[in-house]
Amino acid sequence: MKLHRRTFQIFWDVHAWAGVLAALLLYLMFFAAAFALFHSELDEWAEPRSAPAAQALPRLQPLFLQLVREQHALERTSVGFSIHDTTPTAQLRGPGREEREFRYAPRSQRLEPLRSKLGSFLYELHFLDPIPYGIYVAGVAALVLFLALVTGVLIHLKDLIRQWFQFRPAHATRTWSSDMHKVLGVFGLPFQLFYAWSGAVLCLAYVTVQPVFVAAVFRGDIASANAARGDSEEPPATGKRASELPDLDRVLGKLRALVPGVSPEYVAIQNPGDEACVVTVYGTQPQLAFSNVEVSFHAKDARVLHSSVSSSGAALQRFEAWFYGLHYAQFGGYGVKWLYALLALGTCAVIVTGNLVWLERRDRTRSRPGNRLLQRLTVGFCSGVPLAVAALFVANRCLPAELSRRASVEQAVFWFGLTAALIWPFWARTDRRVAGQQLVLAGALFASALFVDLSLRQPFFADSVQRGVACGLSLLAVSCLAAGTRLLRVGSLQRPSKPNAATSADSGTLNAYRRGRKGANRDATEATADAAKSAPIRSKAPVS
């Protein structure tokens, strides 16, 4: 399908502007997404001096009693237990914004304060939560990505199949970056489209769609809206002291009787010291794909207050189990998570090359201050984010285990690394070399984190989490080193292409649309042939 000339040009501009405006935030979000997929495993790995995991899930009630005795858990707003494999973690929230986290230590069989939040931090970074109002910024960025993807598909709809496979690495920067942008873009299109949509829903629907729907569809009846969504309505605190403590093991026993085969993942105790205390258990049914279970119990007598099982629920619950299950990769095991991580990093490459296409197409000599700023920010961000993450991993392995506020120090190392990486291109003013140096440094830091980890742990590769993280760190180290040395050696971010009006397939296609004549493909092909002739390095690949 070929668009009208004006339609094509408008969508071209919308695609370019939408892409360039949200590019850097999206790069950070997608890079962090590759780690967010494994956040529970990373949290387990990051805990210093962690012992091998327990053989079986410990009973939660003694751990809850420990929190009541030592942390005054009954005076908190909520207490939560995350259950990942056999190592529970506990979160205490309130009063106010106070939050404390603990992890089960198999050696002492007690909860001990969390000394690292590496996995959780990278997970939160995925939706920009460490930044004030970051979740809404992330939602808007996801929407802008959605717009850029749809307009990108529309402008390439006529030759989508060709764009899928056409990659000419030996051509000028403008051509190979455009090719890579389109090849990776088309390969990752379903993934990117779904993440743009689900990301916008996850970050923005709660503050935009839901209030409007409650007002317009449910005429202000929040209870009816909650019932329709399958959400439980928690009774407010009465202010009266509870006569007995919630029995978590009894609640879990009742849940297993109610939903056979359920795998509990999170236990939330709302108003733990109050008479109206509610215990809600969230989980999945591993035998079913995309299944969510949410059952609320009255804490006093473990009576069921609310039950929502997506596999036997209404259409909305079934759809949401599928929708969020796809977003969180709750299916297919580690194979799917690795594939998602690869696609997330591929999307980062689409974003970088998108900015490169913008710069090469619009201002090859970087004569405009705005484009020089964009180039330096792109370099600082795109090689700085891997560098900052690598510094975070090294800090996690090297900081003393007993250091107070250890998790905050780790995060400070990340922010310091990112800030330094952003300043570096402005100070050095040689962008290609800076990108290469930062990536080489990031690769060296990833490799250092791996070697320090191996030297600290005996025996090597004792458990699957350590093996997985070692594999990931090795891949990141090799990729960063390879990309960095390539940039230092032959790549070019700054060297302008020859001032030929049509040095890429892009300009050929666009020029044909501008003139409004037929045969845009032929024009593009001619332009490609010109580009091949004028490219600084001769291509051996056939020009199609």
Partner 1 sequence: MNSRRDDELNHSTARTLAATLGAIPVALGVGIALTLALPLSANLRLTIGSYAVFPSWIVASCCTFLATNARRAWLSLFALLALSALISMAALALRAPATWAR
Give the shortest CB-252-to-partner 1 separation in angstroms. Answer: 27
Separation CA 532–CA 541 (nearest Å): 10
> Residue 297's beta-bridge partner residues?
279, 304
Which CB, 3 or 342, lies closer to partner 1? 3
Which CB, 58 or 313, lies closer to partner 1? 313
Q: How far from 45 is each of 38, 116, 150, 190, CA to CA, in Å?
A: 10, 10, 39, 32
Separation CA 311–CA 286 (nearest Å): 12
- Tokens describing residue 443: 């690769």
Nearest to 181 by CA among 15, 355, 23, 339: 355
The sign of the CA dihedral 187, 188, 189, 194 is positive
Which CB, 7 or 419, lies closer to partner 1? 7
Which CB, 150 or 399, lies closer to partner 1? 150
Separation CA 205–CA 214 (nearest Å): 12
Q: How many CB atoms lie within 10 A of CB 310?
A: 24
Which CB, 5 or 162, lies closer to partner 1? 5
Give the shortest CB-363-to-partner 1 separation in angstroms. Answer: 14
Which CB, 209 or 398, lies closer to partner 1? 209
| DSSP reduced 3-state for 278 | strand
Give the shortest CB-225-to-partner 1 separation in angstroms. Answer: 8
Give the shortest CB-332-to-partner 1 separation in angstroms. Answer: 23
Amino acid (1-letter code) at residue 365: T
Q: How far from 379 is each of 62, 385, 392, 461, 493, CA to CA, in Å?
A: 51, 10, 20, 35, 9
| DSSP reduced 3-state for 380 | helix
Give the shortest CB-192-to-partner 1 separation in angstroms. Answer: 13
Give the shortest CB-78-to-partner 1 separation in angstroms. Answer: 26
Please answer whether residues 430 and 438 qualify as being in contact, where contact means their C-beta atoms are separated by less than 8 angstroms. no
Beta strands, E only, 156-310: 263-270, 278-284, 293-298, 304-309
Give the shortest CB-325-to-partner 1 separation in angstroms. Answer: 15
Amino acid (1-letter code) at residue 325: G
- Report DSSP state, residue 274: B
Give the shortest CB-154-to-partner 1 separation in angstroms. Answer: 8
Separation CA 114–CA 99 (nearest Å): 12
Question: How do 110-113 and 304-309 pair as beta strands?
Answer: unpaired
| DSSP reduced 3-state for 216 | helix
Give the shortest CB-49-to-partner 1 separation in angstroms. Answer: 45
| DSSP reduced 3-state for 100 | strand
Interface with partner 1 (CB under 8 A): 6-7, 9-11, 13-14, 143, 146-147, 150-151, 154, 197, 200-201, 204-205, 208-210, 212-213, 216-218, 224-225, 227-228, 230, 314-316, 319, 323, 514
Which CB, 218 or 426, lies closer to partner 1? 218
Which CB, 56 or 315, lies closer to partner 1? 315
Which CB, 8 or 414, lies closer to partner 1? 8
Give the shortest CB-319-to-partner 1 separation in angstroms. Answer: 5
Which CB, 196 or 450, lies closer to partner 1? 196
121 Cβ contact partners less than 8 Å away, ≥ 6 residues apart:
130, 392, 407, 410, 411, 414
Which CB, 61 or 307, lies closer to partner 1? 307
Separation CA 67–CA 47 (nearest Å): 20
Give the shortest CB-516-to-partner 1 separation in angstroms. Answer: 10
